[in-house]
Amino acid sequence: MRRLISIAVVLTVCTGVVFAGGLSKNIEVIFNGVNISVNGVKVQADNILYNGTTYVPLRAVAVALGKDVGWDENTNTAGINDKGVISELLNSRTNPAVIGETLAIPCENFMEGSYKVELTLTEVVRGENANSRVALANQFNSKATPGNSYILAKFKVKVLETTDDKAININNSSFELVRSDGTVYNDFVSVSGIKPSLSTELYKGAEFEGYVEFISSNLDNPTIRFQKKYGEYAWFKLN
């Protein structure tokens, strides 16, 4: 079963024709010649036997193993992941993670070396609700200019792996807001009193949840990017 998962074959069978990568080839196969089970439970899905190898639908095996299957049509990639965790490979600006989805993200920077985190956007507060919370948090916080409002995005982060047990710094500077037209908001946002704030230092196995703050146009539908490596990002959708 591990071998079947690792090769991650996606194919279409129709009167002996297989389509893959834009090519077609006529082959002879044995249809449903093998019984497939996972942990003693029969997999209810068709299979084919070709050249001594049994092929089964990726989703059927993943479901039997208690996993989720993701598909990114932009990169033509299928991925098998733990429940509630989506493949970082499937994530992009055009395919961002939504609220409640967890990304397992390999990261690297000069100070901390290579590390891996799980990151989940758990809550988004926008508009007048966000403006009111910022004003109540500290009377000296600046008001959003007309036509704009604050965004409070709450992230949960867990450190999975580190280099030499180094502590990982996670704070506002790790996140940026990107407009729907693809340009980046470069305005510096300084807010005091919003608790918990996502400004923390974590060792392997530790986790924390807190808010990062932005300001955006009320007419915009931006996304958030998290810098995982220089020039590479993980993406999150606000609604």
Cα–Cα distance measured from residue 16 to residue 219, given in angstroms and rounded to the nearest whole number: 52
Quote the mean pLDDT of the chain: 83
Alpha carbon 210 to its chain centroid, in Å, reads 18
Residue 174 has pLDDT above 80, yes or no: yes
Q: Encode 200-228: b = buried (16+ Cβ within 10 Å), e = exposed.
A: bebebeeebebbbbbbbeeeeebbbbbeb
In this predicted structure, what is the pLDDT of residue 9? 37
Kindly report whether the global pTM for this prediction surpasses the value 0.95: no
What tokens appear for 120 in the block? 């989940």
CA distance 63 to 50: 23
Which residue is listed with tokens 């790790």?
174
Q: Are 131 and 149 in contact (CB under 8 A)?
A: yes
> pLDDT band at residue 192, thresholds of 50, 70 and 90?
very high
Pick the CATH number of 67-237 from 2.40.50.140, 3.30.300.210, 2.40.128.20, 2.60.40.1240: 2.60.40.1240
Residue 213 Cα to chain centre, angstroms:
20
Residues 202 and 168 sit within 8 Å (Cβ to Cβ) = yes
Q: What percent of the chain has pLDDT over 70?
A: 76
Q: How far apart are CA 152 and CA 194, in angstroms?
A: 9
Which residue do the tokens 């050249």 mark?
Answer: 51
Predicted confidence (pLDDT) at residue 230 exceeds the cutoff of 80: yes
- Write down the pLDDT at residue 82: 55
- So where are the chain's domains? 1-65, 67-237
Q: What are phi and psi for residue 174, nearest 5 degrees?
A: -80, -10
The confidence score (pLDDT) of residue 225 equals: 97
Residue written as token pair 């009193």: 193
The pLDDT tens digits of the residues spanning 97-149 come to 999 999 999 999 999 999 999 999 999 999 999 999 999 999 999 999 999 99
At residue 25, the pLDDT reads 78
